[in-house]
């Protein structure tokens, strides 16, 4: 398999499906933040809110649904169901609407109001679970449903599905290689399902074994970083391999909020909370380097978080 994607995009032609709009997201240089590092350091972020569902999760969801159809596990008449913190659910709901499948999603009750509105706009049925249990509670609830009604649902199980990380191995990683001209030296990504980190890291390591891959996660079990897991206290996704990372960093909710505000006010980029966490972790890495091309992933945009109070904090 080639790790170099076609340089063509879909923006110069008509498309027949929303699926054709997934991927080929821009790589954005964050020159405003390079001033805090040595002159030889470049910092970039993949703008994943450019995907049609608004997040990086479009990549994995489309691959998992395609694999379900290919293997016959997903057939007409079945309902797609999974646990989600919101973004993968939005991708499922968008794709389900486009392909004609019903979608039923389990997510924590404290998911942002905007995410719930988007999910319902796509026609998804929502089952809200205890906010105190986070996505782990949603996982337990969806597993119970599928065990009781196995013939009614297609359960991709994004936390265990190899198609999750393979989507990034085959798209996100090769895009970064192409967009940096093969110069990438460090990759930084957060841990939720871990699919983005695992798949992209494997692609970059296959291209150049010297690329450093750094993961990050919340610094506490009680955090406000939607979509990210504090692995020491959470159900660890089966697709996650802790030995992949050269380092595993911790990021506080407050630092993530601060970086979201900075990106809006200093770079003109409206991004989500996990993207703020990605910048915080990336700066931790970049400040230790004399030279390097550091790439991270901004999973989504700010439209799902505009009612959050932290925007007006100083």
Active site residue 274: yes
CATH says 57-154 is which class?
A: alpha beta
- Condensed to tens digits (0 to 9), the pLDDT of residues 80-91 reads 999 998 899 999
Rounded to whole angstroms, the Cα distance separating 307 from 304 reads 8
The whole-number average pLDDT for the span 177-192 is 98
Has residue 257 got a pLDDT over 80? yes
Among candidate residues 116, 201, 274, 304, the one labeled active-site is: 274
- Condensed to tens digits (0 to 9), the pLDDT of residues 14-55 reads 899 999 999 999 999 999 999 999 999 999 999 999 999 999
**What's the pTM?**
0.93
The fold for domain 18-55+168-312 equals Rossmann fold (3.40.50)
Q: What is the DSSP string of 195-211?
A: HHHHHHHHHHHHH-TT-
Categorize the per-residue pLDDT at 11 as very low, low, confident or very high, splitting at 50, 70 and 90: low
Categorize the per-residue pLDDT at 8 as very low, low, confident or very high, splitting at 50, 70 and 90: very low
Among candidate residues 46, 57, 116, 212, the one labeled active-site is: 57
Active site residue 17: no
In the chain, which residues fall in CATH 3.40.50.1100? 18-55+168-312, 57-154
Least confident range from 179-188, 191-200, 300-309: namely 300-309
Q: What is the DSSP string of 196-261?
A: HHHHHHHHHHHH-TT-EEEEEEESSSS---TT---TTTSPPPTT--GGG-SEEEEE-HHHHHHHHH
């Amino acid at each position: 398999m080639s790790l170099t994607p076609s340089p063509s995009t879909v923006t110069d032609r008509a498309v027949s499906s929303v699926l054709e709009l997934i991927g080929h997201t821009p790589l954005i240089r964050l020159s405003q933040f390079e001033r805090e590092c040595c002159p030889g350091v470049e910092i970039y972020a993949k703008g994943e809110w450019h995907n049609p569902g608004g997040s990086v999760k479009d990549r994995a969801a489309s691959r998992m649904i395609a694999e379900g159809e290919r293997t016959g596990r997903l057939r007409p008449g079945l309902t797609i169901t999974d646990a989600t913190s919101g973004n993968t659910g939005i991708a499922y709901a968008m794709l389900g609407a486009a392909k004609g499948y019903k979608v039923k999603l389990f997510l924590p009750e404290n998911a942002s109001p905007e995410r719930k509105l988007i999910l319902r706009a796509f026609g998804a049925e929502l089952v809200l679970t205890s906010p105190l249990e986070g996505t782990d509670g949603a996982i337990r609830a969806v597993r119970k449903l599928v065990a009781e009604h196995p013939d009614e649902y297609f359960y991709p199980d994004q936390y265990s599905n190899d198609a999750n990380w393979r989507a990034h191995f085959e798209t996100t990683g090769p895009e970064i290689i192409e967009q940096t001209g093969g110069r990438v030296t460090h990759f930084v990504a957060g841990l939720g399902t871990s699919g983005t980190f695992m798949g992209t890291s494997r692609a970059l390591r296959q291209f150049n074994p010297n690329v450093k891959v750094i993961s990050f996660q919340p610094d506490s079990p009680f955090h406000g970083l939607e979509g990210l897991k504090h692995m020491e206290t959470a159900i660890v996704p089966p697709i996650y391999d802790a030995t992949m990372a050269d380092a595993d960093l911790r990021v506080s909710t407050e630092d993530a909020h601060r970086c979201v505000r900075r990106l809006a006010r200093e770079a003109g980029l409206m991004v989500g909370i996990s993207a703020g966490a990605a910048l915080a972790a990336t700066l931790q890495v970049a400040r230790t380097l004399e030279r390097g091309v550091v790439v991270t992933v901004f999973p989504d945009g700010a439209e799902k978080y505009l009612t959050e109070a932290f925007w007006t904090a100083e």
